[in-house]
Chain A
Amino acid sequence: MLSKSQARSFFLGGTVVTFMIFIGLTIYSMAPSNDQSNHENITEGVIRGKHLWETNNCMGCHTLLGEGGYYAPELTKVIDRKGEGMIRAILQSPVPWQPNGRKMVAYGMSDADADAMIEFFKWIGEIDLNGFDRVVSPLAKDRVPRQEED
């Protein structure tokens, strides 16, 4: 039968080995040659957009890259779906946007802030998501042929 010290070795050994592999894989996937996010395209505007995304906790309702709240639509490909003009209107609206009865917070953003958000969404939209982007939201380009068929 297994002894207590063998059980302890199993615990310590397994932990150390898997943790080392985990660190190794982290370094591997953070390597610039394996970048899928177009890291070089992160401009001041994108960073400002990310900052606005965080300080307003947009993730409290929306998902982005599939992470966040489930109360409001996924925003990964939002530029593709709605277009810049619409997004700008929603962000700058002084009254809550509520297309289907569900309300968004009225942010009344300045032009500069709305620009930054759009830059951020554009950068997000270009990331290679290993195929998820084609599933996650009804993309304009996926839907058009379907509607034409009707």
Chain B
Amino acid sequence: MKYKSQKVAYWFFALCMLLFALQIVYGFIMGFARIGMDGLHEFIPFNTARAVHTNLLVVWLLTGFMGAAYYIIPEEAQRELVSVKWAYIQLISLALVGVVAIVGYHFNHWEGRKFLEIPRELDYLVVANVLLFLGIILATLYKGKRRTTTALVLTMGLVFAALLYLPGMIWFDSQVTDSFFRWWVVHLWVEGVWELIMGGILAFLLIKITGIDREIIEKWLYVIVGLTFLSGILGTGHHYYYIGVNKIWLIVGGVFSALEPLAFLAMALFAVYMYRKGGRNHPNKLALFWTIGAAIVSFIGAGLLGFAHTLPQTNIYTHGTLVTAMHGHYAFWGAYAMIVLAIISYSLPNMTGRKRYDHVNGHMAFWFSNIGILGMVVAMGVAGVVQVYLERRLKMDFMVAQEEVKIHFVVMLLCAALFTLGIAMYIYEFIKHGKPTDEALEET
């Protein structure tokens, strides 16, 4: 049984596709600048391109999480959303705030705090928007027929994500303190509460796709999010090693962040095991690919590649180099981009009634994008290791080392082209599915 109000999710996902496409454009602007082709410097200097690239990433992922919640919560709570009208208003206002912020970045209007570039006055609008979103979700849950663990974990993730935005809005005179609390947002999001959101979506998808008993899936969901917080909260210390705070973080951050991969490992094992054990042969193979893929790639990108530079002894050399950029790409892709693409792949045929789930385009989208980004990550990783060696061991000048790694960015751009082809096919398939209909939702 499906609910008509789930249709709202479609429009959130459509906005995701648009913002994701734009994100990639700005990625190319930076990639080309790095190989000396910076013809756009006058209008879109590197710092503008970077702020737009990373902010669009965060915004399209959050839009995807919201869409996921609007799709999942009615089904879990077994009732329609309390207000569809307000959900659309929330979507439009979210898009407006996003557009204003992005346009502002082209006119030197921002706050140069990595990942939190949105100016303070717009922050208040973001807060209002998120409160509206949470209001709709919480009211629906409250009035719903059941309260499942999956819905609870997903909602808890969303509520905590909103609360954790606040420390990033406090004003500090000291760069050190500013940076300290900036990590309460950035780290505790991606290595904390967003994992709850990911876990909630993953559990929902596994229940639907594998047909395994909810009680079993949800028990392991608690174990996974338990591991996440147990390691991730104190793991924040891995950003405090070298920014001018007490040495105690070298030990605390080192030990606990080294445990963080366990949560991702648990997620990967859980997904693969449930899939193997599951009796149901769900026809939506693409959703399965993206779901299992997210669980595995997040373990590699966040777990393994994160571990590779998280010990203080290593991080002293890699801190703030292309090694970090390499990890950032694969972790964000595996954990959050792929889980959003998974819920879209699962829900789209249900909302539109077009069962294109085994179309060859969809499979090519999966493989091209995954092979493409793996190539990008390897290229960036090689560049990063070379940079660390030349600059930090041999003490070469920054730009001398950068000249040496230019060639790896040529390779990176070639792989990025393959990646982009994959994403273009994904978006093409999205469009081909057509619009959502009430009839389609009633049927399934």
Contact = CB atoms under 8 A, between A and B. Distances in A.
Nearest to B256: A18
Contact of B112 (A53, A65, A71): A53
Nearest to A58: B112
Contacts, number: 199
A7 B111 contact: no
Interface residues of A, number: 69
Interface in A1-29: 2-4, 7-8, 10-11, 14-15, 18-19, 21-22, 25-26, 28-29
Interface in A31-50: 34, 36-37, 39, 42, 46-47, 50
A14 B234 contact: no
Contacts of A19: 229, 233
B111 A70 contact: no
A75 B41 CA distance: 21
Given A71-B33, A71-B46, A136-B320, A25 B248 contact: yes
A142 to B, nearest CB: 7
A100 B244 contact: no
B277 interface: no
B93 interface: no
B234 A21 contact: yes
Contacts of B248: 25, 28-29
B114 A138 contact: no
A57 B47 contact: yes
Contacts of B190: none
Given A55-B108, A61-B47, A73 B398 contact: yes
B268 to A, nearest CB: 18
A83 interface: no
A49 B305 CA distance: 35
Contacts of B322: 70
Interface of A: 2-4, 7-8, 10-11, 14-15, 18-19, 21-22, 25-26, 28-30, 34, 36-37, 39, 42, 46-47, 50, 53-61, 63-74, 96, 99-103, 105, 120, 124, 127-132, 135-138, 142-143, 146
Interface of B: 30, 33-34, 36, 38, 41, 45-48, 50-51, 105, 108, 110-114, 117, 149, 173-180, 215, 218-220, 222-223, 225-227, 229-230, 233-234, 236-237, 240-250, 252, 256, 316-317, 319-322, 324-325, 391-392, 395-399, 402-403
